[in-house]
Amino acid sequence: MKVLLTGAAGFIGMHVGARLLRRGDTVVGVDNLNAYYDPQLKRDRLAQLAQHPNFHFRKLDVADRAATEKLFSEGFEALVHLAAQPGVRYSLHNPHAYIEANVAGFMNVLEGCRHAKVGRLVYASSSSVYGGSRKLPFAEHDNVDHPVSLYAATKKANELMAHTYSHLFGLPSTGLRFFTVYGPWGRPDMALFSFTKAIAEGRPIELYDGGDMMRDFTYVDDIAEGVVRVLDRVPHGEVPYRVFNIGNSEPVPLMRCVEAIEAALGRRARKKFLPAPKTEVRATFADVSELAAWTGFRPRTSLEEGVRRFVAWYREYYQECEALK
């Protein structure tokens, strides 16, 4: 297929792009390369994709309506929409960035799909839509009307907007609620990455609620496989719309994550314990039975194995960065 991939320079975007290219798809990648975190990491991810002749990059912000309309004139059979303003705590400081990227940008993507008659849309939602729900595991039919961050609210809005376009215009759309994704080429603002960096540099790490908060850590290769499996299974029916959880279905305390990093690095962490901010939820836990029934796939990479691979990448990548200085 010819696939439009938004957020191609992002963490998940790079891995999904690589997976599509390996199987023979043509991928047109889009990203605005903003400075939410080091743009050089984004450029280095793109360099990995650019090694493949079937990858083509367009520097573009999907919140730019005119530019996005022009982009869709190229014609695409499918769209994987991963472009977004990420981060939960950052939404406390720059809320407008979330409305512009996650709501206005998604609106432009939906309109592009509608008018260009794109055959299928897969887009990123988030486990954050479950808010502070104490019912575990989280299932797709649970109530998600009480988000605890603006980021979560925009992801819930995306699901509602996609359902509307599936209902009104027959656009086949599938949302994926990602659960705490980690792995090589990860985002520096995420816990596992920031813990690894701090431990490697001998700085203390910050842990909330005594390190007992539970997260359903999901390895990025499993996420990429899930995205592609869903892309290949088009929803049908009167309203061709689906939403799935994609997580490892094994919530672990943050302290176990720290222990896995310590083992991989061969260094002990210095710990600083803090109360959790209001944007943080106590636990996440994905029920992936619907994803497994739909695609025959469920994530299965263990935390210890995934952390080992991440730390190996981290060491290699930053040693190369130091060598170039």
Counting residues of the chain whose pLDDT is more than 90, the rounded percentage is 91
Instruction: Specify whether the backbone of 221 is left (phi greater than 0), alpha (psi in -120 to 50) or beta.
Output: alpha
| Domains of the chain as residue ranges with CATH | 2-180+219-248+285-301 (3.40.50.720)
Tell whether the torsion through CA atoms of 289, 290, 291 and 294 is positive or negative. Answer: positive
- Residues 36 and 85 sit within 8 Å (Cβ to Cβ): yes
- DSSP class of 24: T
Rounded distance, CA 41 to CA 47, Å? 10
| Per-residue pLDDT reduced to its tens digit, 267-300 | 999 999 988 888 888 899 999 999 999 999 999 9
Active site residues: 151
pLDDT tens digits, 153-165: 999 999 999 999 9
Looking at the chain, the number of H-run helices and the number of E-run strands are 11, 13
The DSSP-derived string for 150-203 is HHHHHHHHHHHHHHHHHHHH---EEEEEE-SEE-TT--TTSHHHHHHHHHHHTP
Instruction: Look up residue 36 and give its two tokens.
Output: 């939410």
* Position 116 pLDDT exceeds 60: yes
Overall pTM surpassing 0.85 (yes/no): yes
User: What is the per-residue pLDDT for 134?
Assistant: 87
The per-residue pLDDT for range 217-268, each reduced to its tens digit, is 999 999 999 999 999 999 999 999 999 999 999 999 999 999 999 999 999 9
Any idea which residue has 């981290």 for tokens? 314
3-state secondary structure of 5: strand
Which residue do the tokens 């029920």 mark?
287
- Position 94 scores a pLDDT of 95
Per residue in 69-82, pLDDT tens?
A: 999 999 999 999 99
